[in-house]
Amino acid sequence: MTVLNCAVLTISDSRTAADDKSGDLLVQLLGADGHQLVQRTLVRDDIYQIRATASQWIADPDISVVLTTGGTGFTGRDSTPEALIPLFDKTILGFGELFRQISYDEIGASTIQSRAVGGIANATLIFALPGSSNAVRTGWERILHYQLDVTFKPCNFVELIPRFKEA
């Protein structure tokens, strides 16, 4: 297992650090898989606050994975995809598609309102999950748990990070 340095960003107009259950769960899940939390913060659902934090982490050579929770719906000020997609060097189209496919079994057609996205920027993996704890658990346990494990074959996202490429 390769230990990845991860940053967790919660995007919410209503949550605080004291009641950020989805962010807490994400930290717990990545730690249980042996990854290291190196940064964590919470910002309002504002394109520029999201983009500023993500940009700082993308530029940090010590951060390999940025995980966000919240702001992926269609209501209110949900703007996580609009904030992150312009930062991507490449979009991982299949991440959102697979997330919605898996979620369909759990929440039915309501999954169409999820705008979960993934991408790569400056050799940093970025995944935006919805804000519910159930969605965070689904995204981690059914996709990211495997794709952030360098031993998962035939391929995984870790192999896309230059400093982790196997010789």
143 — pLDDT class (breaks 50, 70, 90):
very high
Architecture of domain 5-164: 3-Layer(aba) Sandwich (3.40)
- Torsion sign over Cα 97, 159, 137, 81: negative
Residue 165: the pLDDT is: 53
Q: Answer yes or no: is pLDDT of 150 > 50.
A: yes
Task: Give the Cα separation of 139 and 135 in Å (integer).
Answer: 6
Residue 166: the pLDDT is: 47
Residue-wise pLDDT for 26-40, tens only, equals 999 999 999 999 999
Residue-wise pLDDT for 25-76, tens only, equals 999 999 999 999 999 999 999 999 999 999 999 999 999 999 999 999 998 8
Residue 2: the pLDDT is: 83
Residue-wise pLDDT for 63-112, tens only, equals 999 999 999 999 888 999 999 999 999 999 999 999 999 999 999 999 99
Q: What is the pTM of this model?
A: 0.95
| Cβ contact 71:131 at 8 Å | yes
